[in-house]
Amino acid sequence: MEGLVRFLKSSRTIVLVVAMIALGATISPALNGCSGDYDGRRYAQAGTSDAHRWSDNSSSDELSRFNAIFKTYASDPGNTRQLKHFRDAYKRIRAAYVEDIPEQRLIDTAIEGVRAKDPQPGSMTAEALVETALDAMTASLDPHSAYLNPEELRESEMVTSGEFGGLGIQVTQEEGRIKVISPIEGTPADRAGLKPGDIISAIDGKPVEGMSLRDAVNAMRGEPGSRIRLGIQRDNTPPFDVAITRAIITIEPLRWRLEGNVGYLRIVSFNEKVADGVETAIAEMKRNTGGKLQGLVIDLRNNPGGLLDQSLAVSDEFLQTGTIVSIRGRELGSDRTFRAERGDLIDGLPIVVMVNAGSASASEIVASALQDHERATVIGTRSFGKGSVQTVMRLPVEGALKLTTALYYTPSGEAIQARGVIPDVTLTGGDDGGEPAHEVDLPGALPAQGEARHSTRGAVDVNACPAIGESGDRELGCAINLLRAGSTENFLASVGLKARL
């Protein structure tokens, strides 16, 4: 495992799942995600040589159309630095994006983005015009690709340490509405009671209808200690307001406890502290049970992801051998397979992994790796389905592109993208606070690839399981009962069901 982590660090493969900027948010074309995104965020320098060939003549024709718009609307049309900035970004998208996008479509969206501002001739600075064009061009690709201006790039780099300022919430935009993917556990948004599926209808009394995701996120940002009032719409509940105090958010990536001799490991996000924390937690569980640990429940519910190397390391801590995940992209040399090294922290004891619609990217890598190797049984609801890799490419002039450059594939060869992890045992009857969003619901999401290879073996109403802890967590009760039953068949039989073979 240490060799694997050293390899990742030396290859500068730092990846975010659903990336959370200062607000802590987002699966969005305008901002950075493990949240992860950052699972799948590799850093690269955009150079001049590309692995793919494309027609320089055709590109010149298309770029000349943008040049004409630039000269018409820029207040400083002689700013060749910004024109070069646009060309660098455009060429990098053409070469590196996971799909081959027609040149005309890219330039059309860039021009439409500028014209949507309804500018007067000579009214936009070259910098503002190019940023507007790049925002529009990348937004047309998929929900996770984006242009990051220098400020956004700095903010996007804050999350890997596990500390940032804001509300602690991941949001997306669906049919023009700002929808909560998940609050981050232990943050102001979580303590205020926000739930996956909540619709944010107003910010400090101002309706958000018609507002872009970026503008909504910016409106929710502010100084730590300041208050914000969100209008919330929740299924089967009258609209209500929630007051939240912004804070510097330090994410404790995991916590653990024992339920009898069963270990419970809650992983909140995959930041740089997780793998070491898991090892420490397992050692403490073994010590506190006198070496009689019965098994482990790994709770990945509402975990939006995080660093790729940490998801690989956590998977490797329970696998003896085999593929953890594969990455397949369009650029030559971009395909990679990551494998486990020998060593299992709990020596083959049974594992149950909990997932739901808020489990994304790095969480899906861990869940699918353990599931495919039959090292764990997965219980819950279908995960989010964020199975794409975002590479952050610094541009020569300024800022960076965050481009989807590849897709993740499970050990069995199934693409996670837009499909998610299908649990072995599906839980029903839970209170998710509304219809949870999935990757496939996002406008412009890349479609699922290939055929599904997993199907659930049975569905259980959570009310058939005991409530655990002060929160009365029946889903956890189901997971513990499943582990103690010794097999999926025994567990389903205990609640009067027969497993689907």
Q: Between β-strands 146-148 and 163-166, what pairing exists: parallel, antiparallel or unpaired?
A: unpaired
Closest CA to 459 of 472, 478, 474, 473: 478
Measured CA to CA, the distance from residue 465 to residue 475 in angstroms comes to: 7
DSSP string computed for 468-485: BTTTTBHHHHHHHHHHHH
Cβ partners under 8 Å of residue 26, min gap 6: 18, 19, 20, 32, 33, 35, 170, 171, 172, 213, 217
Which residue among the candidates 386, 402, 441, 473 is catalytic per the annotation?
Answer: 386
**Cβ atoms of 183 and 168 closer than 8 Å:** yes
**204 among known catalytic residues:** no
Structure tokens at 298: 């790994």
**195 among known catalytic residues:** no
DSSP string computed for 342-368: S--TTTT--EEEEE-TT--THHHHHHH
**Cβ atoms of 364 and 386 closer than 8 Å:** yes
* Backbone angle region of 186, left / alpha / beta, with phi > 0 → left and psi within -120 to 50 → alpha: left
Measured CA to CA, the distance from residue 326 to residue 409 in angstroms comes to: 5
Query: Is 47 buried (19+), middle (13-18) or exposed (0-12) by CB count in 10 A?
Result: exposed
Q: Residue 428 CB: number of other CB atoms within 10 A?
A: 11
Phi, psi of 439 (to 5 degrees): -55, -45
Closest CA to 486 of 377, 334, 371, 325: 377
Residue 109: C-alpha distances to residues 66, 123, 169, 370 (Å): 10, 20, 30, 41
**Cβ atoms of 489 and 483 closer than 8 Å:** no
Measured CA to CA, the distance from residue 316 to residue 345 in angstroms comes to: 9
Q: Which long-range contacts (CB under 8 A, 24 or more apart) does 447-450 make?
A: 447/417, 447/418, 448/385, 448/415, 448/417, 448/418, 448/419, 449/407, 449/415, 449/417, 449/418, 450/413, 450/414, 450/415
Measured CA to CA, the distance from residue 363 to residue 439 in angstroms comes to: 14
Axis-axis angle for helices 56-73, 126-139 (nearest 10): 130
Which residue among the candidates 315, 361, 383, 388 is catalytic per the annotation?
Answer: 361
**361 among known catalytic residues:** yes
**Cβ atoms of 379 and 479 closer than 8 Å:** yes
Which residue among the candidates 372, 424, 441, 473 is catalytic per the annotation?
Answer: 372
Supply angle C-alpha 432, 181, 30, rounded to 5.
Answer: 170
DSSP string computed for 136-170: HHHHTT-TT-EEE-HHHHHHHTSGGGTEEEE--EE
Q: What are the catalytic residues?
A: 361, 372, 386
